[in-house]
Amino acid sequence: MIFKVLSSLSHFHKACILLLVDLVMVALALLIAIPLASDSQVSTSVLWFAPAVLATTGIAVHLLGLNRIKLNTFGIDDLAKVMLASLATAMTGFTLSQTLGLSDITAGIWLEFATLFVVLSVTSRYVMFKIVERVYAQKLPRKQVLIYGAGQTGQQMAAALQTDHEFKAFGFVDDDPNLYKLTILGLKVHSPKRIAAIVRRNRIDRVVLAMPSANQSVRLQIGKRLSALGCEVLALPSFADIVLRGEEVTAAAPLQLDTLLGRDAVENELPQTESTYRDHRILVTGAGGSIGGELCRQIARCRPQELVLVDHSEYALYKIANELKQDNPGLRMTAVLGSIEHPELMRETLMKHRIEVVFHAAAYKHVNLVETNAFEGVRNNVIGTRVLAEEARLARVDRFILVSTDKAVRPSSMMGSTKRMAELVIQDLAKRSEHTKFSMVRFGNVLGSSGSVIPLFQKQIRDLGPVTVTHPDVTRYFMTIDEAVRLVLLAGSFSRGDDVFVLDMGEPVSIHDMALKMIEAAGYSVRNENNPAGDIAITFTGLQEGEKMHEELLIGSDMLTTPHPKIMRAQEKMLSELQVASALQELRRSIETRDIQLLTATLHRYVENGQTEIVALAPSKTPALSVVGES
């Protein structure tokens, strides 16, 4: 109840309350100081000039702005204003007392009154501040911050946190033993040896390193030591650096992923996407993944009639569904927990919700994991795709868009082979479908997706290295998640059936150069032979089985244009219906019998037969076009 009343008060109401409190303190000081120093007759005469004294106080408080000073920012300068107001009031009272002939009320008595008013005014503000602080702390508890460094930067931060509603400074920690047990700005200074106990007993949420003048390596060592405490550790630049150097101190800010593309990003607003999917019933598989989740977010902004999410991970599905509900209150959405490998579940979902568009982003995509789990990779990526696509065809879905990967082209890994086989399955259904338009969009490496190099590098940099790169010369094509999804949505609007869409990717990006940029963007230096005192080292682990040194520039001999200049349509070689049926039968049998030789032989035979003729053209002669994928 008290919190509700306090939080509802306007600035005007708060100013009026503080003015009234000051007037009450003046009256109280008047009733205490003068009667105690004079006889009863003089005390009675006080009532004649009390209104003038109160009026003088009110005017002085208003002109000096004392009633507009926040309780939690009241300081030494404001105390001077209170003293000035008290002197003005005392002078007014002394003048009136002399005019009325009250010679017993001397200037000394009025000075006592002024002193008493200062004490009462400051005390009343302190009491009100503590009451308000206690009320807000019970309703809105603030996070505890421990400041490492009791110097100028630390003190400035502590002062700033006094007025913050989210964080509260608990105290200081400093390496200088001369400061131990001292109190600065009302906060105690502790020894670094007591940090663990302080964090544990007082539930410290963050430790801030307020020592910008310290050597970078010193701060790194302290940060690494504190990282085991279970609370967040942050480094703070000096306030002088923030003012004088401006943007230069933002070097430790999160890296902007667009800077790693090596080309211009696809524009944020693409034509046709919103109108294509508005008021439609749309299903997204793999909705809890990086690409699937971003698909759901962007589709939700297109205002579909209904959005159905499918994922076999309970936590991932819950997370994306909860996010979409909070961000899109009016969205009609259904979360379906289960695998695309179950035809009865897919059939029921497609028919019950009368799905019109399917985005198939569910896949096992990590090269190394699929390499050692080939049977499950084929079961999910190939058999699951066939189950979902066949049910979509029977349900007469309007559009079916497969999210594929450039590793499906000339695959050197098990994951790439399974994705290429999934493409061949979709191409086969596209030839035989009378209603559903089947198409696919290939993606290469997506910046920031789960399992990609960006999150891995970020974690390794937080741990102070080493950052691991497979080979100093390895390169990849990249795009951001939101850019990739915009491409998927746009390609779906272009779909005529049996389409393979590719994107102008520009130049490939060096993974080694990307690691260098991320280390420098985090505010660290690279440790190598030329800089042995650097902060973080880069180590080379060697290419693993199935990995390529360079992704190919994929330009088919019969590339076709689309309404978007950066998106092309490739016409690719296909398998016959009989070949696809035979391949699926052999793959199912290999899974049932756990025959890895049959599985690899089947994929090798049919994937090789299903490869399109691809040529790599030099960027200097022809604009570099490549496909991009999700891994």
Nearest to 455 by CA among 254, 221, 286: 254
> What 3-state DSSP class applies to 330?
coil
pLDDT category at 552 given cuts 50, 70, 90 is: low
Residue 314 CA to residue 311 CA, distance in Å, equals: 7
Residue 485 CA to residue 404 CA, distance in Å, equals: 12
Residue with the two structure tokens 């990003």: 265
Q: For residue 322, how many C-alpha atoms fall within 13 Å in the half-sphere facing its CB?
A: 6
DSSP run (H or E) holding 285: strand 281-285
Structure-model confidence comparison of residues 286 and 52, the more confident one? 286
Task: Single out the catalytic residue among 14, 188, 407, 621.
Answer: 407
**The residue type at 59:** I
Q: How far is CA 298 from the centre of its chain?
A: 17
Contact 549, 471 (CB under 8 A): yes
**The residue type at 599:** L
Residue 170 CA to residue 402 CA, distance in Å, equals: 54
DSSP string, 5-61: HHHH--HHHHHHHHHHHHHHHHHHHHHHHHHHHS-HHHHHHHHHHHHHHHHHHHHHH
Query: What's the pLDDT score for residue 421?
Result: 95
Query: What's the pLDDT score for residue 202?
Result: 84
Please list the alpha-helical segments (H only) found in 359-448: 367-372, 374-378, 384-394, 414-432
Largest Cα span, the chain: 121
List, in sequence order, every residue forming a beta bridge with 630; answer none if it has no partner. 444
Residue 342 CA to residue 349 CA, distance in Å, equals: 11
Residue 62 CA to residue 287 CA, distance in Å, equals: 60
- Above 50 in pLDDT, residue 562? yes
Task: State the average pLDDT over residues 252-272.
Answer: 51
- Above 90 in pLDDT, residue 281? yes
User: Exposed, middle or buried by CB within 10 Å (0-12, 13-18, 19+), for 249?
Assistant: middle
The number of helix segments (H) and strand segments (E) in the chain equals 22, 25
Query: What's the pLDDT score for residue 617?
Result: 28
Nearest to 389 by CA among 314, 442, 439: 439
User: Exposed, middle or buried by CB within 10 Å (0-12, 13-18, 19+), for 594?
Assistant: exposed
Query: What's the pLDDT score for residue 491?
Result: 78
DSSP run (H or E) holding 481: helix 481-494
Q: For residue 367, how many C-alpha atoms fall within 13 Å in the half-sphere facing its CB?
A: 21
> Per-residue pLDDT tens for 61-108?
888 888 888 776 777 788 888 898 888 888 888 887 777 776 667 777
Average pLDDT of the chain is 79
Query: What's the pLDDT score for residue 295?
Result: 93
Contact 533, 263 (CB under 8 A): no
Q: Has 407 been annotated as catalytic?
A: yes
- Above 70 in pLDDT, residue 554? no
> Per-residue pLDDT tens for 293-308?
999 999 998 899 999 9
Nearest to 483 by CA among 261, 329, 285: 261
Structure-model confidence comparison of residues 24 and 355, the more confident one? 355
Q: How far is CA 348 from the centre of its chain?
A: 36
Question: What percentage of the chain has pLDDT greater than the value 90?
Answer: 28
DSSP run (H or E) holding 277: helix 273-277
Residue 478 CA to residue 470 CA, distance in Å, equals: 17
Where does 276-447+477-506+552-625 sit in CATH, by number? 3.40.50.720
Query: Are 143-253 and 276-447+477-506+552-625 in the same CATH fold?
Result: yes
Structure-model confidence comparison of residues 631 and 239, the more confident one? 239
pLDDT category at 38 given cuts 50, 70, 90 is: low
- Above 60 in pLDDT, residue 265? no
Contact 523, 220 (CB under 8 A): no
- Indicate the DSSP class of residue 141: P
Tell me the pTM: 0.56
DSSP run (H or E) holding 401: strand 399-405
Where does 143-253 sit in CATH, by number? 3.40.50.720
Residues 6+ apart with CB under 8 A from 544: 367, 368, 470
Query: What's the pLDDT score for residue 75?
Result: 73
Query: What's the pLDDT score for residue 262?
Result: 54
For the chain, domain boundaries: 2-138, 143-253, 276-447+477-506+552-625
Rounded to 5 degrees, what angle do the CA atoms 28, 29, 33 make? 125
**The residue type at 174:** D
Query: What's the pLDDT score for residue 299?
Result: 94
Contact 141, 134 (CB under 8 A): no
Residue 268 has phi, psi (to 5 degrees) of -65, -40
pLDDT category at 45 given cuts 50, 70, 90 is: low
- Indicate the DSSP class of residue 479: E
Give Rg (Cα) of the chain. 36
**The residue type at 415:** M
Contact 608, 417 (CB under 8 A): no
Nearest to 491 by CA among 293, 295, 631: 295
pLDDT category at 619 given cuts 50, 70, 90 is: very low
Residue 584 CA to residue 314 CA, distance in Å, equals: 29
* Virtual torsion, Cα 306, 309, 310, 315, nearest 10 deg: -150
Structure-model confidence comparison of residues 208 and 38, the more confident one? 208
List, in sequence order, every residue forming a beta bridge with 264; answer none if it has no partner. none
Q: How many CB atoms lie within 10 A of CB 450?
A: 16
Structure-model confidence comparison of residues 42 and 2, the more confident one? 2
Contact 390, 535 (CB under 8 A): no
List, in sequence order, every residue forming a beta bridge with 173; answer none if it has no partner. 148, 190
- Indicate the DSSP class of residue 381: I
Query: What's the pLDDT score for residue 342?
Result: 96
Query: What's the pLDDT score for residue 438?
Result: 94
Residue 502 CA to residue 488 CA, distance in Å, equals: 10
DSSP run (H or E) holding 110: helix 107-139
Can you say whether the dihedral through the CA atoms of 536, 537, 538, 542 is positive or negative? negative
